[in-house]
Every structure is written in structure tokens, then in C-alpha cells.
Structure 1
Amino acid sequence: IVKSLLSQERTTFNGEHFQITNAPCEPKPVQSPLPILVGTGGARMLRLTARFAEEWNTWGTPEVAGDVIQKLRIACEKEGRDPATVRTSVQPLFFLCASDEAVEKLRPLVPADRSVLGTPSQIVDAVGQYKELGFDEICVPDFTLGNSPSERLDSYATFWNEVAVHFR
């Protein structure tokens, strides 16, 4: 339905769960076709990702994301799709800490399954693991990098100069 709405003048669809008649969707996207990105880690949605999406995004530590990317590859194979045709991205919750002591103080306060916390060198190691797992892109959300805009900018500068520099 979505692909038709984004590419056709009008769309009619009569399915078991959804019905639309002569539906317009305007304005049309500038990019054609608009790539479908699905963010998920669940088995059912991974099957739908393998069937319909151009890109997939997930959360998680390297261990969690590594397990899920493998499940996506299996879902692609079951759909008869080459897993390399799905662009992959991961968005862990990065917590950049100045010291090992700061890491240990913060660790019990963050979600363990999706957080990557550490000093810049520890974050470099984690980013390297995502790269080895085959992720095409790593998204760095800003809401974990500080409480104020200036703290976030400082953290981004540290991330860029001490982490990202290793992967350019």
C-alpha cells in the first residue's frame, strides 16, 4: 500500500486487514522510489523487512545487534533475497565517559541491552565490533551525550575526534 501511495497518482487496495479506494498521497517524495526503512528486532518484522524494505535499523549492544542482524540475514534467505541488498544501520545508546570510574558509576543506570558506554577507546572497540558485524551505518543519538546543548556539542566533538577518526 505504502509503495503504491508514494508512486501512483491514486491507489486502490482491498486486502484482509486494509481497504482503500482511489486514495491520493501528496506531495510525492522527491526521491523515487522512496526507500522503505524498517526499525525492528522482532522476528515478524524482520520477515517483513526482508520482503519489503530497502534499509533496516536496530538498537543494541554489539552482542544484541549481532544476534539480530544474523536473524535478518536468515529472514532474507527465507524470502529468497540476498541479505547484502538490505542496507543496515544500528543506533546504540552511546554514553561517552571520561574515565573507567565514570563508566562504572553510570552502568547500573542505563539499559544494558542497548547501551554502549565507555571511554573513547572503549567506544572505538565497540564501533569496530559493529563494523565487523557488517553494519553499513552507525547512528549516534544526541540525547545520551549530555544534558545541555553545549555538553552534547562537546561530546560530539570528542566522538568525532577520538572515535570516528578511526573509521574514516
Structure 2
Amino acid sequence: MTENFKLRIFTEPQQGGSYDDLVRVAKHAETTGYDAFFRSDHYLKMGEVSGLPGPTDAWVTLGGLARETSRLRLGTLMTAGTFRLPGPLAISVAQVDQMSGGRIELGLGSGWYEQEHTAYGIPFPSLKERFDRYAEQLEIITGLWGTAEGETYSFDGEHYQLSESPALPKPVQSPRPPVLIGGGGKKRTPRLAARFADEFNLPFVDIDTAAAQFDRVDAACAAIGRDSGEIVRSAAMVLCVGENEAQLARRAEAIGREVDELRANGLAGTPAEVVDKIGTWRERTGITRAYLQVLDLSDLDHLDLVADQVAPQL
């Protein structure tokens, strides 16, 4: 993979994927030169799939992968703020960063999928309260990591209060593991990105929507005097690549999608088509990373095709 543009594998194991499946894909991604392996943070399947054998926990998974891999960046798109308290989450991420030798990235969102909350007994406040909590979580997690060793951290918010925390353990990465923020909210999301994000990600949107949201992030940065060039831009797209139409159709069928729909909405087609689409996105939006949503975890040849025939042209 080139340094300029990075291809990252993104998995959705709640749709059906064991820890062993994820290890196999992550190790293969590392061997074939991908930059990173990310996973969703969900506890319930979506749509008409079995979801078997059932969900795996994102941070338990990443702790395992930290020891099973040696080079890949590892992270979440996105950890749900409703799932974890900010103090313990800061501890977990710092620990996994240590376990990986400094390869962890934290994608954090407010949480949105109500059904998984009701299925597993997780409180699901109103949208406003989720975002209020999310803003405090970002401040707390980055504040804990940024506290010098030997000093303490306190926070007195509406939803969370921390008193004289030793702010330990520290992550390996300095000043901290990268924080990813994303989504299409037009007001609060860009403002939070301007304050806290090292990377801003847009998942599964069209190019015009992405360009407009990146512009909002730029404006929010300008409003607080931050250089928006400090924030990496990225997009997540479903992957479906075939050397020919027959192979493409088989891969689309395997994930229950239509080829035409994938060509329109995802990163789909022949290797040449995919290279062209990435080029258009780079030119229009300035993204430097693409998260390739791999839905068929058994098809490692798919990863090989992209590594062999797409990556070298980027």
C-alpha cells in the first residue's frame, strides 16, 4: 500500500462472524499489505441475516487481535458511547494500545441502534442526551489520556463527574491514540470534530453529501482557529470487486446485494472501476483513507484481488 492513500479493512461481525473468523481476516489483511483492520461495535444483527454465532465484543476482539498481529492499525467504526462509561473505556483503549505496541485508534460515536439496546438491557436516552453525553465522553477520554503522569484529572459535567482520577494507564501513543469522529449531523458533529477529531469519517454516503459535510468540519475548525488540515478525511464503503462480471455477480449475491445498486452506492465493479471511483473521491473530497466494508468474511480471495490490482494503482 502507498503512504499517500490507505486501504483499511472494515468488518461487521454482528452480521455473522466469530472471533476466529476475525483473526483469519485480520492476519490475511496484514499479510497482504492493508493498512488497518477495523470492526463495528454492535450487539445485534441488522436485516435478514442469521447473525450466527452471535455478536463479539469490539474491545475484547481488539485486545486479542493486538497480540495476534504485529503491524496492522486496529480500531472501531464506531464504539457506541451508550455501551461504556468514559473512564473505563479510556482504560480499555489505553490497555489495548499497550498490548498492540501503540497501534490502536478509537472511533467513538453517540450510539444509534435502539433495538440492540433493548435486546441487551442497555439504556438508550433521547438523541439530545446521547449527544450531550457523547460530548462529555470525548472530553473525559482525551482529558484522561492528556493528563501528565503523577497528576490527577477531575471533571464536573452534567452526566459524568470524575474526582482526582490518577488518569492511568497511559496509552503507548503520544499524545494519544487517534480519535475518529464521523457521521452526517450538520451542527454538533462538525463542532465536536473540530475540537476532538484526528480523523473524520463518512460512512456509506454519496460523494456530494460527503463533500458538504467535510466543508462543515472545515468551517467548524476555522471558527475555533484550528487548522482543518490536521484532520484526516476518510470514507467507508461496501466492497464488491470482481475480475469479470460473473465473479462480481457471485460476490454481490453472497452478501445479498444487487450489482447495479453496489456500483451506485458502494465501491464495486472491476479493479479499474474501483480505482477510478477512489480517484474521483480523492479529487472531490480530499479523502486519504478508504474503509472497505467486507461482508463475506470467508472470501479471502476478495482481499487478494484488491491488494494485487487496486492498491498498486493508488
Counterpart residue number, 1:92: 237
**Cα shift at 1:123:** 0.9
1:10 is aligned to 152
Q: Which amino acid aligns with 2:281?
A: Y
* Paired residue type of 2:223: K
Within the alignment, does 1:165 sit opposite 2:308 as a pair? no
Q: How does 1:82-121 map to 2 (within 5 A)?
A: 82-97=227-242, 98-99=244-245, 102=249, 105-108=258-261, 115-121=266-272
Is the 1:61–1:116 Cα contact (8 Å) retained in structure 2? no
Equivalent residue number for residue 106 of structure 2: none
**What letter matches 1:89 in structure 2?**
S
Query: Take 1:166 and 1:140, find their aligned partners in 2: how far apart are those partners?
Result: 16
Deviation of 1:63 (Å): 3.3
Deviation at 1:25, TM superposition (A): 3.8
CA deviations on 1:93-134 (whole Å, 9 max, x unpaired) are 1222432883794345x6x65x23222222111110122121
2:201 corresponds to 1:57: yes
How many residues are treated as equivalent by the alignment?
A: 160
Looking at structure 1, the residues matched to 168 and 209 of structure 2 have their Cα atoms a distance apart, in angstroms, of 39
- Percent identical: 33
Q: 2:226 aligns with which of 81, 88, 99?
A: 81
**Residue 92 of structure 1 aligns to a residue in which SS?**
strand
Moved more, 157-166 or 3-12: 3-12
- Which of 5, 30, 37 is 2:180 aligned to? 37
User: For 1:22, which of 130, 152, 164 is the aligned residue?
Assistant: 164
Q: Once structures 1 and 2 are overlaid, which stretch shifts more, 123-132 or 2-11?
A: 2-11
Unaligned stretches of 5+ residues in structure 1: none
CA drift at 1:147: 4.9
How large is the Cα RMSD of the aligned pairs?
A: 2.6
Question: How far does the alpha carbon of each residue in 1:58-101 deviate from its partner, in whole angstroms, 9 at most, with x for none?
Answer: 21343332232222222222232221111222221122243288
Q: Distance in 2 between matches of 1:86 and 1:147?
A: 30
Match of 1:72 among 204, 211, 217: 217
